[in-house]
């Protein structure tokens, strides 16, 4: 592990363009419940049953109750050393893009500036009538929150199952992957598309790939460097003591 960390650190020092893809593992180190699996169970519902356009159309109050519960949980969580290390890395790299699958907003809270939230942000709400988006960090937005501009029903501004990613944000993520010289893939299972394919895009563009995760993933064989462990322990070591 020591050799891999040192090799990656030296490579980062000489890189002008770096892209980072983060997933649920980074948020889990802050205590944010994972979306899938046992942590995703709420009132006998799987999260995947409620995070759909069909569920919202059928019972928006139930979906908002679920999201208010999630907002309340996330509001109690703080950024961890992985978040702050990525903020530090952004200051050290001339051209840096952070692509995240997480919707908790913790990267922004930590101070990261060039962030592409490809699955949206749980703290943003979008009007189902006029499309206007607003940021609201209230832990509970009520059972049927409405748009201040037109009175339309608000929905969480996240990408639900069955929905496409925002094409503008996806295009920016693909461009960052195509142009980077190093891509870090951190805390993600590399099974959710299209995020998982960004590593292939970066590799095709000649980038060095490094994976930091608790365990190997389906993309591990594609990587130039694989470091197994907690992001909050490994990422700070990549940025400490830069001359």
Q: Is the pLDDT of residue 67 over 70?
A: yes
pLDDT digits (tens, 9 = 90+) for 126-163: 999 999 999 999 999 999 999 999 999 999 999 999 99
Greater model confidence, 172 or 48: 172
Catalytic residue flag (residue 83): no
Do the two domains 2-31+78-119+164-239 and 33-76+124-158 of this chain adopt the same fold?
no
Pick the CATH number of 2-31+78-119+164-239 from 3.40.50.1220, 3.90.1150.10, 3.30.70.20, 3.30.413.10: 3.40.50.1220
- Determine the average pLDDT of the residues in 42-56: 83
Place 96 in a pLDDT band, splitting at 50, 70 and 90: very high
Percent of the chain with pLDDT over 70: 95
User: What does pTM read for this prediction?
Assistant: 0.94
Asked whether 85 and 184 are in contact (CB, 8 A), the reply is: no
For domain 33-76+124-158, is the CATH number 3.30.70.600?
no
Greater model confidence, 119 or 34: 119
pLDDT of res. 38: 45
How far apart, in Å, do the first and last CA atoms of the chain sit? Answer: 22
Q: Which residue of the set 83, 107, 114, 119 is catalytic?
A: 119
Residue with tokens 């999630």: 70
| Average pLDDT, rounded, for the chain | 93
In the chain, where the domains are located: 2-31+78-119+164-239, 33-76+124-158
pLDDT digits (tens, 9 = 90+) for 72-88: 999 999 999 999 999 99
């Amino acid at each position: 592990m020591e050799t891999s960390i040192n090799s990656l650190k030296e490579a980062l020092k000489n890189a002008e363009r770096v892209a980072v893809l983060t997933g649920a593992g980074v948020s889990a180190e802050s205590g944010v419940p994972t979306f899938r699996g046992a942590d995703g169970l709420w009132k006998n519902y799987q999260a995947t049953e409620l995070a759909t356009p069909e569920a919202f159309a059928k019972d928006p109050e139930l979906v908002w109750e679920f999201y208010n519960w999630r907002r309340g949980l996330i509001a109690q969580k703080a950024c961890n050393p992985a978040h702050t290390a990525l903020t530090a890395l952004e200051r050290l790299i001339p051209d840096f893009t952070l692509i995240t699958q997480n919707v908790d907003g913790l990267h922004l809270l930590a101070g990261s500036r060039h962030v592409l939230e490809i699955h949206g942000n749980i703290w943003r709400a979008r009007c189902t009538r006029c499309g206007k988006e607003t940021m609201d960090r209230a832990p509970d937005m009520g059972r049927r929150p409405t748009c201040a501009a037109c009175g339309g029903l608000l929905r969480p501004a996240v990408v639900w199952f069955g929905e496409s990613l925002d094409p503008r944000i996806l295009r920016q993520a693909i461009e960052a992957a195509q142009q980077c010289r190093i891509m870090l893939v951190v805390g993600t299972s590399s099974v959710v598309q299209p995020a998982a394919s960004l590593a292939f895009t970066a590799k095709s563009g000649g980038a060095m790939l490094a994976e930091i995760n608790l365990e190997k993933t389906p993309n591990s064989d594609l990587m130039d460097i694989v470091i197994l462990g907690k992001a909050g322990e490994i990422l700070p070591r990549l940025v400490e003591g830069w001359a």
